[in-house]
Amino acid sequence: MQQIPSAVTSSLQKNQIPKEAMSISVVRVAQDGLGKISAVPQLEWRAQQAMNPASTMKLITTLTGLDILGPQYRWITKLYTDGLIRQGTLKGNIYLQGSGDPKLIPEELAKMMKALQKLGIQKIDGNLFFDRSAYAPSVMEHNTIDGEPLRAYNVPPDPLLYAFRTLSFQLSKSRTADFIDVSYTPSLSQLKVNNQMQLVDRACDTWKKDIRFDLDAPTEPRASNSPITANFSGAFPNTCQGVNYNVVALDADTFLTQGFTAAWEKAGGSWAKPPIGKSATVPLTARSLLQFEGISLADDVLDINKYSNNVMARQLMLTLALEKMGKPATTENGELVIQAWLKQAGLDFPELVIENGSGLSRTEAISAHNLNQLLVTARKLPIADMFYNSLPIAGVDGTMRNRLLGQINKFLHLKKKPEARIKTGALADVRAISGYVMSKSGKMYAVTSFINHPNALRGLDAHDQLLAWLMDDGPEPKQAR
């Protein structure tokens, strides 16, 4: 079928997007009694055209990762020391050697502190050193495509990435008085908040525009244990009861040093003196303290696909390079691993361009037809259901939480309701969807669609119309009454 559904066409016209800016591939995925998967094309519109897929590129990275590494794969952060433990005090430095754990968050760091305490350590008399030799220096450079280096989605990869290197401030009007509560995560040992914001009588929807923020932080790496002040000023609406202000404003060494220091103190540990933290490789003479395992790849993939986490996707691609081709990991080697996996799976994507595996790129490209072929192939793999369940559910969670709510309400009376599990993608001039739709009659469709156009922001409705059409069994011939 080459005819675009009329509701999609109307939406494109209404939003001044030419049909030639859109590509669509729809395939019905069926399974026989023996479990064999078959695919029947339903709609191909400019489906062979190479397009920018934005974050739907993460589907290639996560599916490859799940199949090669396995869902139970865990990243290991190794801790070494050049000292000795005597009477509860570790007299010596701690070296952290990272392997790219994408979700080394405060809850995980707290577990690491408990593991250190089980070694008989109550006090640390030494400094912190961070071994990032797992990655090539080039992949850790802070380059952006939009000139916004302080935005959380632009965080570069780091073998010792802690809490996405992002300070998240929670702002809200106090429930008991006329002042503004400011809290933050993760805990940093030397961070103080200077709150000079004024409450104003205003709606909360534009709360960010009148807030002024700056961070007084150390500029020298050896000052990683120096005081930091987060300054807030400007106006804050009195109708806001909880908003997050996320910022990437500290260098990696300072952020990890103060995060580690705070976590150790929170666990009940102490320091002989505030530690300085800096990058260094583990000395050959250092001895192992512990090997800390992070959460499973299955859990990481859930975060990557549900919430479109860019740096987690990039670190997964680098992990493929690290595991298959050794260190230092490079994006080029990660691409080689993915391309080899595609070839082994019988997938030939000549137009595919991979820059970092996250879709946060102006050069990454694939056709709707071939990304849909990946979705069909996924149904044939042992991790098919895990991959399917990692995708955002329309009207329920992730980046699809507020999508298709009206359409879903139409089917509330049905015993078995239709479902759309869709990875989304968005850049300034790109809107993308790719995933699966279970229709009201129980048929499964793989669907991929890209819009590459200056008006792409308005294309969200056209994609929703396409998904609604599939939920309503649009491709199926109507039965004569």
pLDDT of residue 413: 79
pLDDT above 60 (res 241)? yes
Q: Which of 380, 363, 365, 393 is nearest to 450 (CA)?
A: 365
56 in Cβ contact with 423 (< 8 Å): yes
pLDDT above 80 (res 464)? yes
How far, in Å, CA of 29 to CA of 22, rounded?
Answer: 23
Digit-coded pLDDT (tens) for 156-187: 999 999 999 999 999 998 877 788 999 999 99
Q: For 36, which DSSP code?
A: -
Exposure class string for 367-391: b at 16+ Cβ within 10 A, else e: bbbbbbbbbbbbbeeebeebbbebb
The pairing of strands 444-452 and 22-31 is antiparallel
What separation in angstroms does the CA of 214 have from each of 21, 54, 143, 228, 249? 41, 31, 21, 11, 9
Neighbours of 293 (CB within 10 A): 15
Digit-coded pLDDT (tens) for 36-78: 898 999 999 999 999 999 999 999 999 999 999 999 999 999 9
Backbone phi and psi for residue 280, each to the nearest 5 degrees, phi listed first = -170, 150
How far, in Å, CA of 355 to CA of 362, rounded?
Answer: 9
How far, in Å, CA of 99 to CA of 85, rounded?
Answer: 26
Grade residue 480 by pLDDT with cuts at 50, 70 and 90: very low
User: Where in the chain are the domains?
Assistant: 6-72+297-471, 167-247
pLDDT of residue 369: 98
Arithmetic mean of pLDDT, 197-205: 92
DSSP H helices in 348-458: 368-378, 384-389, 405-409
Arithmetic mean of pLDDT, 16-37: 93
Q: Which of 107, 131, 166 is nearest to 311 (CA)?
A: 166
Residue type (1 letter), 140:
M
Judged by DSSP in three states, 74 sits in strand
Which tokens is 103 given?
């979700």
Look at the domain 6-72+297-471 and name its fold.
Beta-lactamase (3.40.710)
Digit-coded pLDDT (tens) for 346-356: 999 999 999 99
Q: Which of 133, 159, 148 is nearest to 314 (CA)?
A: 159
pLDDT above 50 (res 331)? yes
Its pTM stands at 0.95
